Structure 1
């Protein structure tokens, strides 16, 4: 996936760095050259431009992004104008905006922003991990290790947990499954069905690798 982060203050920088650590392709944008210089080693492309310059944004590939994160914190009016411009383009990308408080959150929702995050509720690391990994993170035990809820790969269906060789190949453990609203403890003899969601624990990159089997 391709990500664009606009606004490279403290929060924006952390999002870029974490996305980079997670192996994502990131376009970083800011109006200050000093902020660009601090982040350029963590982005596939880092550009200093006026953030409301629609022609320049299009020229650097904004319409090719999958997710655009508006991380501007100090000037809410700039964030609103940018969000409105991006949503008016009717492109495929998802727009996420940073808000400080409930009022700003509601304004972003009124103009159609797809997701609104508040730094006091969700850290930059949480946001980057949620965007980077194709699984539901139930608990992050440290920066690299999680308990996650995943859909079983197609080749796992009809096999027992032991037959999948989860631990041998990926060093991932599965000790429970979710069926609807119910959580069931399971052993290695449990046979996985298409309706199951697996509750697994392991390194984030190993879980991500498993889901691309």
Structure 2
């Protein structure tokens, strides 16, 4: 079982802890606020109150024993930068740090972060995409040009098969899964027939997917 360290138990850190708890992952949560640590106790395996900017305190946690260290500090960028650097110096295997702006991402990567997450940017992108078309239910950017969209099944696809519609050739996208009543089916062949009430997970280039969505609007 993976062991995860979360430093910073504000809104973002707490959400990460809750999700990891659902996945039955061992989590140590750290924050300087006793109140935030208490709020996180139902979702973490262990918790510590302490100053993560203190290298001796971090050392006492046994940083090299964790598979992933998440720096979820939201408001104090200098503290986030300092903690990220300390973690790498103490032998962290993988450091994931939170950024609030593009410039912060560059500095965090230079100072030891293996991955930088940008929650506000992700939420902003999702909101913009969802608002641009009522058919978009969810959205994940997987590279500069490619994304995965969850879309409502177009009405004119109901009762037709994947092969009959010619999704790949006509729209330049691939259907990777279908969801119906919270059940997901990933074993889709050309003979699969769509049912009313389904949603589709499709992957392709942003420009191709958006072009198709605009024709639906």
TM-score by length of 2: 0.57
Distance 1:26 1:140 in 2: 30
Alignment of 1:76 onto 2:77: yes
Q: How does 1:129-208 map to 2 (within 5 A)?
A: 173-176=185-188, 185=189
Match of 1:204 in 2: none
Deviations 1:177-200 (A, max 9, x none): xxxxxxxx3569xxxxxxxxxxx9
Match of 1:88 in 2: 89
Contact 1:97 1:116 in 2 (8 A): yes
Deviations 1:108-153 (A, max 9, x none): 1122310001111336xxxxxxxxxxxxx95679xxxxxxxxxxxx
Distance 1:119 1:57 in 2: 25
In the TM superposition, what is the alpha-carbon distance from 1:62 to its structure 2 partner?
Answer: 2.3
Contact 1:29 1:46 in 2 (8 A): yes
Contact 1:98 1:116 in 2 (8 A): yes
CA RMSD in angstroms, aligned pairs only = 2.9
Distance 2:115 2:59 in 1: 22
Deviations 1:32-56 (A, max 9, x none): 1011011111110011011122233
In the TM superposition, what is the alpha-carbon distance from 1:73 to its structure 2 partner?
Answer: 0.7
Specify whether residues 140 and 35 from structure 1 end up closer, same or farther in structure 2 by C-alpha distance, changes over 3 A only.
farther
1:5 is paired with a residue of what secondary structure?
strand
Deviations 1:2-25 (A, max 9, x none): 111101111111111111112111
Q: How many residues align?
A: 142
TM-score by length of 1: 0.58
Gaps of 5+ in 2: 124-146, 152-182, 193-200, 202-217
Alignment of 1:10 onto 2:11: yes
Contact 1:175 1:186 in 2 (8 A): no
Q: Give the structure, 1 or 2, with the largest relative contact order (CA under 8 Å, sep 6 or more).
A: 1
More displaced stretch, 103-112 vs 63-72: 103-112
Specify whether residues 139 and 40 from structure 1 end up closer, same or farther in structure 2 by C-alpha distance, changes over 3 A only.
farther
Match of 1:119 in 2: 119
Distance 1:49 1:140 in 2: 41
Match of 1:158 in 2: none
